[in-house]
């Protein structure tokens, strides 16, 4: 019979090599995503008009936040009023930087607004920003000599004024600029 040895056996220590630390520059295989063509421009490719508007709006909003923004000598206390002022000044000062893509964007926004109004059977009024788009596009077309587009906008303005009697006065005055021109 073999002799029994003590019940304690020594375990061998196995030294395994350490896994290399993951290098943040080395990544797993990336799956290639299909390229989608989008109709909108990316934010990095803003037009000069969009950049100009962004700069002016930010400037006036910072003045408002500091409490320095004044209009006609009175301090502006409402944030909505400050935004309206900034948008109005940006629209006036950045018009000269508008290019063909900006005009096409404005046309598509106006078309969406008009089609939404037609879908609601004429009960939904246009927003003031859409009225301003009509006026701005009309002046652009009139200056460029695109009389067919200008006359289309003029006829739409006439129909809109005639169809709904409860249009706010500010909308009426803006559209009269188009009709009377």
Domain membership of residue 65 (yes or no) is yes
Mean pLDDT within 1-23: 61
Collapse the DSSP code of 74 into the 3-class scheme (helix H, G, I; strand E, B; otherwise coil) and give the result: strand
If asked whether residues 130 and 170 sit together in one domain, one would say yes
Domain end point (choices 75, 98, 121): 98
Whether 169 has a pLDDT exceeding 90, the answer reads no
- Provide the domain limits for residue 65: 45-98
Collapse the DSSP code of 56 into the 3-class scheme (helix H, G, I; strand E, B; otherwise coil) and give the result: helix
Domain membership of residue 22 (yes or no) is no
The pLDDT score that the predictor gives to residue 133 is: 86
Domain membership of residue 26 (yes or no) is no
Residue 60: which of 44, 76, 43 has the closest Cα? Answer: 76
If asked whether residues 128 and 93 sit together in one domain, one would say no
If asked whether residues 61 and 93 sit together in one domain, one would say yes
The pLDDT score that the predictor gives to residue 37 is: 55
Confidence of residue 160 (pLDDT cuts 50, 70, 90): confident
The pLDDT score that the predictor gives to residue 122 is: 66
The pLDDT score that the predictor gives to residue 86 is: 92
Contacts 24+ apart (CB under 8 A), 171-176: 171/125, 171/126, 171/128, 171/131, 174/128, 174/131, 174/132, 174/134, 174/135, 175/131, 175/134, 175/135
Whether 170 has a pLDDT exceeding 60, the answer reads yes
Do 124 and 117 form a contact (C-beta atoms < 8 A)? yes
Mean pLDDT within 66-89: 90
Domain membership of residue 52 (yes or no) is yes
Centroid of chain to Cα 66: 25
Domain membership of residue 75 (yes or no) is yes
Domain membership of residue 35 (yes or no) is no
Confidence of residue 6 (pLDDT cuts 50, 70, 90): low
| Top-confidence range, 39-43, 87-91, 128-132 | 87-91
Q: How many domains does the chain divide into?
A: 2
| Top-confidence range, 38-52, 70-84, 108-122, 131-145 | 70-84
- Give the percent of the chain with pLDDT over 90: 13
If asked whether residues 119 and 91 sit together in one domain, one would say no
Distance CA 40, CA 177 (A): 31
Residue 71: strand pairing partners: 74
Provide the whole-model pTM: 0.59
If asked whether residues 81 and 145 sit together in one domain, one would say no
The pLDDT score that the predictor gives to residue 56 is: 93
If asked whether residues 63 and 122 sit together in one domain, one would say no
């Amino acid at each position: 019979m073999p002799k029994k040895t003590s019940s304690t056996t020594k375990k061998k220590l196995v030294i395994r090599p350490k896994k290399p630390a993951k290098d943040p520059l080395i990544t797993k295989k990336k799956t290639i995503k299909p390229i989608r063509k989008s109709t909108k421009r990316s934010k990095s490719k803003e037009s000069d008009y969009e950049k100009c508007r962004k700069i002016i709006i930010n400037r006036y909003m910072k003045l408002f936040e500091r409490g320095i923004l004044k209009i006609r000598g009175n301090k502006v206390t409402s944030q909505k009023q400050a935004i309206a002022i900034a948008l109005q000044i940006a629209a006036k000062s950045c018009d000269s930087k508008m290019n063909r893509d900006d005009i096409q964007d404005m046309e598509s926004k106006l078309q969406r607004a008009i089609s939404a109004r037609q879908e609601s059977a004429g009960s939904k009024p246009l927003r003031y920003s859409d009225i301003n788009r009509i006026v701005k596009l009309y002046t652009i077309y009139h200056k460029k000599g695109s009389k067919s587009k200008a006359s289309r906008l003029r006829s739409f303005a006439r129909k809109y004024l005639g169809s709904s009697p409860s249009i706010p006065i500010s909308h009426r005055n803006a559209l009269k600029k188009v009709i009377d021109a």
